[in-house]
Structure 1
Amino acid sequence: MIFEMTVQVRVHDFTRGSNWYQTFLNRTPDFIPHDGFAEWEIIPGCWLQVAEGTPSEKSGPIRIGVSDIEGERERLVRILEIDKFKIHQREEVPVKWGTFSDPWGNLLGLFEYIDKKEEKQRINALLPTSNPHK
């Protein structure tokens, strides 16, 4: 039975990397077990780990769901100074998405449900007790 997952990215400079991911995720880590390692629980049972080390080449992207991809892209471009990435959309795909990288080359991305009713259903299914969108 699978019940949780973790995804890890590595950064050469942990202090800078941890600060970058705190800004990206808009909050401090949920767990820092030792030097050079931090974790955020993105949604219940899904953890993003940032570890000091050599970044993996050509891995990812790790995409995170957001309610407003354009607004979030503008926030990240402004405060993290990433390049303004293109937002893609295809008729047969129920989301818009975009990909960018962190300063260490880890591929990241965002996606947004086009159908807001579907988005609300997903949020309610994943976050039934802490849903600010109810």
Structure 2
Amino acid sequence: MTLDLFAGVPVRDYTAAAAWYEQLLGEPPSFLPNDTEAVWELAEHRFLYIEVLPDRAGHALHTVFVSDFDDRLAAIAGRGLAPAHSETYDNGVRTAIFRDPDGNEIGFGGGPV
């Protein structure tokens, strides 16, 4: 079975959002379907995209679990972004939440310490 995921993030300002997501993800969009959307492929068949939808901007909540949690956070910090919130749960799972210019929350999670 193939699993495809397109996780959308509504934004107000395409230019500001695209620049921020490029900084967060460390690469330019994988493709641009039109003038109001940008798409990043996070892993095979798993995509995160921004779309200009001003009335809905700021309400996305996505967490991506990664096996390279510490390295990824270090790389993001090297590009000038810091998490708005970090947490370690009782079971050892860690999360780091970043907020884009509209307040959308994009988090990264990793296994036990």
Determine the structure 2 residue equivalent to 1:79.
80
Q: Deviations over 1:7-43 (max 9, x none)?
A: 1112111011111111110001111111111101111
What is the rounded CA distance, in whole Å, between the counterparts of 1:85 and 1:73 in structure 2? 15
Determine the structure 1 residue equivalent to 2:90.
91
Q: Contact conserved, 2:94 with 2:110, CA < 8 A, in 1?
A: yes
SS in 1 for 2:80: helix
Range moving further from structure 2, 50-59 or 68-77: 68-77
Higher relative CO (Cα under 8 Å, sequence separation at least 6) belongs to 2
Moved runs in structure 1, 4+ residues, more than 2 A? 55-59, 68-71, 73-78, 84-87
Change (3 A) 1:37 1:59: closer
Match of 1:28, as an amino acid? Answer: P
Structure 1: gaps of 5 or more residues: 116-134
TM-score (norm 1): 0.67
Determine the structure 2 residue equivalent to 1:112.
110
Structure 2: gaps of 5 or more residues: none
Match of 1:95, as an amino acid? Answer: V
1:102 Cα shift?
0.9
What is the rounded CA distance, in whole Å, between the counterparts of 1:103 and 1:34 in structure 2? 21
TM-score (norm 2): 0.78
What is the rounded CA distance, in whole Å, between the counterparts of 1:77 and 1:107 in structure 2? 20
Q: Deviations over 1:44-74 (max 9, x none)?
A: 11110111122445431x1123424486168
What is the rounded CA distance, in whole Å, between the counterparts of 1:105 and 1:37 in structure 2? 18
Identity of aligned residues (%): 23
